[in-house]
Structure formats: structure tokens, C-alpha cells
């Protein structure tokens, strides 16, 4: 048994006739061709995408902000006895939450469209009644309907919700 243990090399002292291992080749710290080309390609793509962001047509357009204000601020739309005027406006099926819908649809022989009008009154879209009459929010928009039989409807519409 001592014969086997004497053949195990020491981890601290190098044997006299030691040769380099053939299993792992000792490399210097240099990049492989694949790593270098991958890095160059990554930097090129990042620079190209960054340059595209500088072009004016790549920036998102600002959406009209839907804003609201208090009772009486919208000249010609306030009436102390009626909430959300004019009474000739369409008041049904045009709400998306408490704002006017922005959607449309179509079938075999018809199409319709609800659109908010963000600048209908003094550059704003909605107003609130918070007085004694009622507590409501009114958001203006437009409704259009067309069908094959010549039925065309184009109306001012208001989304009226309780607040």
C-alpha cells in the first residue's frame, strides 16, 4: 500500500520530470474572432438605433389632452336647470368610463364612429357640474353613422356621467 501512495505526486512540490498538460492549452488574454465580431456588430446596431431616435419622424406625436373644468367656465354651455347642454346632443352609448368614446365599428352595410372632441369649448374636452343642481361630468364628442340605404347621422354627442 505504501507503494501506491508513493506514486501520487505532491500538490506542493513539482516533480523533476514534469511536463505541461495536454488537456488544457494555456492561452494568453486575447479575444476570439467570434467575440470580436459579435462586439462590433452589437456596437454598430446600438449606434444605428440611437441615430434613428434622433430623426424627427421617429418621435411619438403628442396626443390632445382631455381636460375638464368647473361649472360656468365654458361660455354658452352652462344652464342652471339642465346638466350637459345642449339638450339636442346624443347622450346614449357614447361613454368609455367617464370620458367620451373613441371607437368605431362596421357591419355588412353600415359603419359608425364615436370621436372625442378635445378642443370643443375653449380648448377643453369636459366640464363638471358640482353645484346644487347635480354632480355630473360632461365630455364632448361627435357621433357619425352611415349605411347603404342612405341613412347618414352626424351629431354632437356628450358623455354624461355622475361624479
Q: What is the pLDDT of residues 150-162, one digit of tens each?
A: 889 899 888 888 8
pLDDT value of residue 82: 57
Q: Are 93 and 155 in contact (CB under 8 A)?
A: no
| CA distances in angstroms from 56 to 48, 53, 60, 64, 76, listed in the order given | 15, 8, 9, 19, 40
Mean pLDDT over each residue of the chain, to the nearest integer: 76
Mean pLDDT confidence for 115-135 = 72
pLDDT value of residue 133: 61
Q: Is the pLDDT of residue 41 over 90?
A: yes
**Spacing of C-alpha 72 from chain mean position:** 34
Q: Are 127 and 119 in contact (CB under 8 A)?
A: no
pTM attached to this predicted model: 0.49
pLDDT value of residue 64: 47
Q: Is the pLDDT of residue 109 over 70?
A: yes
pLDDT value of residue 63: 47
pLDDT value of residue 121: 66
Amino acid at each position: 500500500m505504501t507503494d501506491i501512495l508513493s506514486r501520487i505526486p505532491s500538490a506542493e512540490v513539482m516533480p523533476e520530470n514534469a511536463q505541461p498538460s495536454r488537456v488544457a492549452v494555456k492561452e494568453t488574454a486575447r479575444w476570439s474572432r467570434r467575440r470580436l465580431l459579435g462586439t462590433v456588430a452589437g456596437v454598430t446596431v446600438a449606434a444605428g438605433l440611437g441615430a434613428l431616435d434622433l430623426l424627427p419622424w421617429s418621435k411619438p406625436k403628442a396626443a390632445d389632452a382631455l381636460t375638464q373644468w368647473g361649472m360656468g367656465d365654458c361660455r354658452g354651455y352652462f344652464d342652471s336647470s339642465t346638466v350637459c347642454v345642449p339638450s339636442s346632443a346624443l347622450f346614449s352609448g357614447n361613454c368609455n368610463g367617464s370620458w367620451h368614446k373613441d371607437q368605431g365599428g362596421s357591419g355588412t352595410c353600415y359603419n359608425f364612429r364615436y370621436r372625442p372632441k378635445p378642443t370643443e369649448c375653449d380648448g377643453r374636452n369636459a366640464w363638471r357640474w358640482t353645484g346644487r343642481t347635480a354632480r355630473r361630468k360632461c365630455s364632448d364628442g361627435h357621433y357619425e353613422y352611415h349605411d347603404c340605404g342612405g341613412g347618414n347621422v352626424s351629431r354632437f354627442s356628450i358623455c354624461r356621467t355622475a361624479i
